[in-house]
């Protein structure tokens, strides 16, 4: 992933966002030491941002598409009340093994309901409404995840979609993943069911609020 924001500015923003709980720092360390593509983990800045959003919409039901080792799920779980719930989708058993170990150690882990299997099938089987959705899985499916999740989002609910700048390649798409992200960004812009803003946080975060 190519850094889109100047590294010193990014570090300043990160260190001026709420403290990373010690458990999440450990999870990030283990992920970087033991997993392939550890940079998929959202990290402290974007994780804090997600937690702030979850609190801001006073979410009780959250849907996450793409859990990896559970960093963003745990961050969002912190922003939920004790009876709040996150349903999170993942296909990779190795990621799930790491995530489950950390969920078991967290005072917020009981809020997370992990559903293994292709996310399209998982989401199709879910009933809404959700208050907050975070999409961060395979990019080719982004447009379909958007449609499925928007149907299940309550009016006033918020969706955040990660990697929508894709290291800047959206400016000159040359492969299927990039073309899917470009299609998603265009789709959200044209969709009058939502109000949206594309933010230059990390690799780009699309925010959409359902009208």
Residue 172 has a CB neighbour count (10 Å cut-off) of: 8
In the complex, least distance from residue 129 CB atom to ligand SAM, rounded to whole angstroms? 21
Residue closer to ligand SAM (CB basis): 95 or 185: 95
CB of 153 to ligand SAM, least distance (A): 18
Our CB check for ligand SAM shows the closer of 96 and 182 to be 96
What is the smallest separation between the CB atom of 118 and ligand SAM, expressed in angstroms?
Answer: 4
Q: Which residue number, 105 or 211, has a Cβ lying nearer to ligand SAM?
A: 105
Closest by CA to 203, choosing from 175, 178, 176, 174, is 178
Query: Would you say 6 or 36 has its CB closer to ligand SAM?
Result: 36
Rounded to 10 deg, the angle between the 43-56 and 22-34 helix axes is 130
Q: Are strands 85-90 and 61-65 parallel, antiparallel or unpaired?
A: parallel
**Are the C-beta atoms of 163 and 181 separated by less than 8 Å?**
yes
| CB 177, min distance to ligand SAM, A | 12
Distances (CA, A) of 75 to 28, 44, 120: 12, 9, 23
Minimum separation from the CB atom of position 162 to ligand SAM (A): 7
Q: Which residues of this protein are in contact with ligand SAM, per CB under 6 A?
A: 40-42, 66-69, 71-72, 89-92, 95, 118-119, 136-138
Give the SS3 label for residue 46: helix
| Phi and psi at residue 46, to the nearest 5° | -70, -35
- φ, ψ dihedrals at 62, nearest 5°: -125, 145
The CB-of-106 to ligand SAM minimum distance in angstroms stands at: 14
In the complex with ligand SAM, the residue whose CB is nearer, 155 or 162, is 162
Nearer to ligand SAM, 42 or 185 (CB): 42
- Widest CA span of the chain, in angstroms? 45
């Amino acid at each position: 992933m190519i850094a889109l924001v100047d590294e010193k500015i990014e570090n300043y923003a990160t260190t001026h966002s709420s403290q990373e709980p010690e458990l999440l720092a450990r999870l990030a360390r283990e992920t970087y030491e033991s997993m392939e593509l550890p940079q998929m983990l959202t990290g402290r800045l974007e994780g804090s941002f997600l937690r702030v959003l979850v609190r801001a919409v006073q979410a009780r039901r959250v849907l996450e598409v793409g859990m990896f080792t559970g960093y963003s799920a745990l961050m969002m779980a912190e922003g939920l009340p004790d009876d709040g719930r996150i349903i999170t989708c993942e296909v990779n058993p190795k990621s799930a093994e790491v995530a489950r170990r950390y969920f078991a150690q967290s005072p917020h882990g009981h809020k997370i309901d992990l559903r293994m299997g292709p996310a399209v099938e998982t989401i199709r089987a879910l009933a809404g409404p959700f208050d907050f959705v975070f999409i961060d899985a395979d990019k080719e499916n982004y447009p379909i995840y958007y449609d499925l999740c928007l149907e299940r989002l309550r009016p006033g609910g918020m969706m955040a979609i990660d990697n929508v700048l894709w290291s800047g390649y959206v400016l000159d798409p040359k492969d299927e993943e990039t073309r899917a992200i470009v299609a998603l960004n265009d789709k959200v812009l044209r969709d009058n069911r939502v109000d949206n803003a594309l933010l230059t946080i990390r690799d780009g975060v699309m925010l959409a609020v359902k009208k």
